[in-house]
Amino acid sequence: MKISVNRNTIWCDLFVNRLIEYGVKYACISPGSRSTPLTLAFSQNKSIKLFQIVDERSSAFFALGLAKKSKSPVAIVTTSGTAVAELYPAIIEAFYQRIPLIVCTADRPHYLRNTGANQTINQDNIFRNHIRYFADVGLPDVNLKSLSSLIKKTDTALNIALIENVGPIHLNFQFEKPFEPDTYTEKIDVNYINKIYSLFNKIDFKERKETTSIDKVLKKLTHFEKGLIIVGYNNYDNQFSNLCARLSSKLKYPVFADASSGLRCCNHSQKNVIENFTSLIRSKNYKKEFDPEIIIQFGGTPTSNIVQNFFKESKAEKIIVNEFGDKNDPSLTARTILKIKPEEFCQLILEKINLQKLTRRQDWFEKNIKLNEIAETIKRREFQKEEINFEGKIIYELYNLLPSKSNLMISNSLPIRDADFFVSCTNKQINIFSNRGASGIDGINSTALGIAKLSKEPTVLVTGDLAFYHDMNGLHNAIKFNIPLTIVLINNNGGGIFESLPISRYGKTYIQNFVTPLDIDFSKFVEAYGGKHYLISNFNEFKMKLDESLKSRKLSVLEIRTNAKESKLIREKIWRSITSAIDLYLNENKSRSN
């Protein structure tokens, strides 16, 4: 028996079923006519949770947040034309963070390109510089050859996105009208349709098999007594933090945990972490005496320029370790890059290191820990003198106030740097998130809301006024999907980070072109998106409203107005105090040893 069908419907339904086989559970869809077949296929499949988001840029960043929290691939669907280009910022971020976004864009037929057809641009590999795989799947057809090609391209894309070269992939779908399933294009035997689905019901996951020789590294670790472990940004789990702490203890190498790594919020590693490293290396005496012989860097490039400069200037042997062998070394001074999972590297070293040959200078480790404690004491003493409108104190106190197991999304620009400078280790597990792939300030609100949507625990975003402004459209997701999110908004009325750059000396030009004050009453916008807005003036109020907002399970914005110039001066005062204390300690120890 033959039945009437729409080829677009069968094509897209088969594709969506294939995604489900690969573990796709979420999809973000923006409205459009040309993408109708894709939208219908996703919406009619109960195995995928859909998020309908009007703004394509927000949709892509929301998908990024979903993927970060779920650690699974997330699909994105858009119509043709400039809607496709709106996805690019989030794709770039996903590319550098290796987040598997499955980008599905609708397109006009190829023969309409460059003909003046409405809403038609050249979508052919439009994201080529920041995508792991691209395929134009062609016009739908129901013959076995075309369907086999669709499945083959989908399988190739998903294996790359999830295993071979993890990151975003792009599939471009051409469609001819009619789009709706009740407008038919042909008649097909029902047995043929059943055959189609039975032929493509199995997937072939490819396993990434790699062997990484670490014998040379073992020799170096056995030989070098003065070492340092740097842990850059990544979404690390408890297994790695435990193994990293054990490796540190075994090698007697202290750990500098970047604020974006999350290792400062984990019981396993605290006793080994020198969280005030960015303060210590401001002392020339410290850098001279504690230049390591070897540095192991896990994950991404460190946040702070001062750490990057230390890495560059150090004479140490440098080893970069990450799962994909990414060259996370802008200094170009690392000679060894190991393509291995960080937890596997730690496990192998712990198993193979020869204890009999391992000679360690206990004082190297202990002195670093002692100097970190000195810096920590001074930092806490200085912070007690400051009010909550000092930008560094806001995030310092936030870490202390957050409930255990909370999610904390830290925006780029000043918030992530202040976290890196000043956040202390806590005895609570806090899940840290950041968009440190490309370090942009776009899409921050949407990413945080994507994370919050999939979490039972409270989610807090700490962000600056410019980043908040860039993605106010994203706040609509909080209303539409009933997402609780607490936003700590640090408002220094413009690009406060530029205060720390030489351009700040250039008076009027600096103010007009770099600071760019917004002069916006954010409370009106927050209320328009159904949220609660609080203007915070002191620490007790901050503590009370934070607790209140976390319990409310709604969108809440705690705005703290700051002065970027004054905050800069306070940072410098704290660093001077720490540097003086470190120099004094080192000089006194040198005198005693003489």
In a domain, 593, yes or no: no
Task: For residues 354 and 456, state if they share a domain.
Answer: no
Cα 375 from Cα 577, distance rounded (Å): 9
**Structural domain range at position 519:** 386-562
Task: For residues 11 and 145, state if they share a domain.
Answer: yes
Q: What is the pTM of this model?
A: 0.94
Cβ neighbours for 584, distance < 8 A, ≥ 6 positions apart? none
Task: For residues 350 and 400, state if they share a domain.
Answer: no
In a domain, 583, yes or no: no
Q: Which helix (H) or strand (E) holds 74?
A: strand 74-78
CA distances in angstroms from 229 to 253, 318, 466, listed in the order given: 6, 10, 34
The residue-averaged pLDDT of 249-269 equals: 87
Task: For residues 78 and 10, state if they share a domain.
Answer: yes
Q: What is the pLDDT of residue 115?
A: 79
Cα 430 from Cα 37, distance rounded (Å): 41
Cα 216 from Cα 224, distance rounded (Å): 12
148-196: per-residue pLDDT in tens?
A: 999 999 999 999 999 999 999 999 999 999 988 888 888 888 788 787 7
Q: Which of 239-243, 245-249, 307-311, 514-518 has the lowest mean pLDDT?
A: 514-518
CATH number where 486 lies:
3.40.50.970
Say which DSSP state 3 is in: E
Task: For residues 475 and 543, state if they share a domain.
Answer: yes
Cα 41 from Cα 299, distance rounded (Å): 38
Number of folded domains that form the chain: 3
In a domain, 205, yes or no: no
189-245: per-residue pLDDT in tens?
A: 878 878 777 777 666 666 665 556 788 899 899 889 999 999 999 878 888 999 999
432-466: per-residue pLDDT in tens?
A: 999 999 999 999 999 999 999 999 999 999 999 99
Helices (H), 281-426: 284-289, 305-313, 342-352, 362-385, 391-401, 414-422
| 3-class secondary structure per residue, 257-281 | ECHHHCHHHCCCCHHHECCCHHHHC
Half-sphere exposure of 424 (CA within 13 A, CB side): 19
Helices (H), 71-138: 82-85, 88-97
Q: For residue 127, which phi and psi values (nearest 5 degrees)?
A: -100, 25
In the predicted structure, residue 113 carries a pLDDT above the cut 90 = no
CATH number where 269 lies:
3.40.50.1220
Q: What is the pLDDT of residue 472?
A: 96
